[in-house]
């Protein structure tokens, strides 16, 4: 079954790449921050991080599934893979629902880096009203639980403003065997 899963994931990533190419999107090495190394900022281990992958997706609901496939394909052996997949689902869904990413022509970018025994997942949105993610306290609420879920799953999380855009990040344990995950 593992071979079937790997094959299906590979096929999903290839389909995503093909669809992204038709939409004018791509995993562009020129956009990679610092030529493959990303300086650690905010929360978690400081120091250089290595870019595991980056993808920009259309701001539509089906991109949530593509973001999950992207993380699964880029970090298949991560100890916290299930948590990372749930978190990217929530973060991309929030970006599409609550920011300009969900408007006509909107985009959402998912960046996965590794360093200091941690994986860092970043989701960059198209900007919102105040650009501040909210963790709601209403336990019985039927919606609005995304950031609460991310906060529960991640070792640490936070956000930063990048002009009009907001980048929400969450960190997850790697294998702890050195500078990489």
How much is the pTM? 0.69
Position 87 in a domain: yes
Residue 180 lies in a domain: no
Whether 28 is covered by a domain: the verdict is yes
Q: Is residue 179 part of a domain?
A: no
In a domain? residue 103: yes
**Domain presence at residue 21:** yes
Inter-axis angle of helices 81-98 and 146-153, nearest 10: 150
CATH number for the domain that contains residue 47: 3.30.565.10
Alpha carbons 94 and 164: distance in angstroms, whole number: 16
- Give the whole-angstrom CA distance, residue 15 versus residue 69: 10
- 181 found inside a domain: no
* pLDDT tens over the chain, length 181 residues: 445 444 544 544 454 445 444 444 444 333 333 333 343 444 444 468 899 999 999 999 999 999 999 999 999 999 999 999 999 999 999 999 988 899 999 999 999 999 999 999 999 998 876 545 545 555 665 555 678 899 999 999 999 988 888 999 999 998 644 444 5
Q: How many domains does the chain have?
A: 1
**100: in domain:** yes
Tokens of 38: 């990303």
Rounded CA gap, 35 and 123, in Å? Answer: 19
Range of the domain at 16: 2-173
């Amino acid at each position: 079954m593992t071979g079937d899963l790997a094959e299906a994931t590979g096929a999903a990533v290839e389909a995503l790449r093909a669809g992204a190419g038709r939409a004018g999107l791509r995993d562009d090495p020129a956009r990679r921050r610092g030529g493959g190394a990303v300086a650690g900022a905010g929360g978690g281990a400081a120091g250089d991080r290595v870019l595991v992958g980056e993808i920009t997706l259309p701001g539509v609901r089906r991109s949530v599934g593509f973001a999950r496939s992207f993380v699964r394909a880029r970090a298949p052996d991560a100890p916290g893979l299930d948590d990372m997949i749930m978190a990217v689902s929530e973060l991309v869904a929030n970006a599409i629902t609550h920011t300009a990413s969900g408007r006509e022509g909107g985009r959402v970018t998912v960046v996965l880096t590794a360093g200091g025994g941690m994986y860092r997942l970043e989701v960059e949105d198209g900007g919102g009203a105040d650009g501040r993610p909210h963790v709601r306290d209403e336990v019985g609420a039927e919606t609005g639980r995304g950031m609460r879920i991310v906060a529960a799953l991640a070792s640490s999380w936070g956000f930063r403003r990048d002009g009009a855009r907001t980048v929400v990040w969450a960190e997850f344990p790697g294998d702890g065997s050195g500078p990489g995950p």
